[in-house]
Amino acid sequence: MKPVKLFIVVVIAGVLLAGCSLDPNHSLRVKNQYAETINNLKVGTVSFGTVASGTTTEYKPIDEGSYTLSGTTTSGNPLQGSLSISGKGTHKWTMTVESSGTITIKED
């Protein structure tokens, strides 16, 4: 009888562990090192609103995928670009608008 009980415990444990996959759980924040404030900053449909020069936003949840950036500087120049978010498990990302206007992204 013990081998049957052990077999049942092993099967139940296997089913429970197989159901616990690592779904992607990503979050993104924006660091603005550009000389101007960026207005209406969006990464895909995720809105970061107005990001003042020299500030960093709070993290916001974002799905895995490729995204288009949009926004406008206080002088009216458009901010455009794209980025990709991927990876299994939990990841926190920082997108930086560099002083030169280039966009970089790194995992924290």
CATH number at residue 99: 2.60.40.2890
Long-range contacts: 45-48, Cβ < 8 Å, 24+? none
Total domain count for the chain?
A: 1
pLDDT in tens, 36-45: 999 999 999 9
37 within domain boundaries: yes
What is the residue-averaged pLDDT of the chain?
Answer: 85
12 within domain boundaries: no
CA distances from 106 to 50, 84, 93, 96 (A): 21, 11, 6, 8
Weakest mean pLDDT among 4-13, 85-94, 95-104: 4-13
7 within domain boundaries: no
3 within domain boundaries: no
Its domain, for residue 83, covers 23-107
Rounded to an integer, what distance in angstroms lies between the CA atom of residue 34 and that of residue 80? 14
92 within domain boundaries: yes
pLDDT in tens, 71-88: 999 999 999 899 999 988
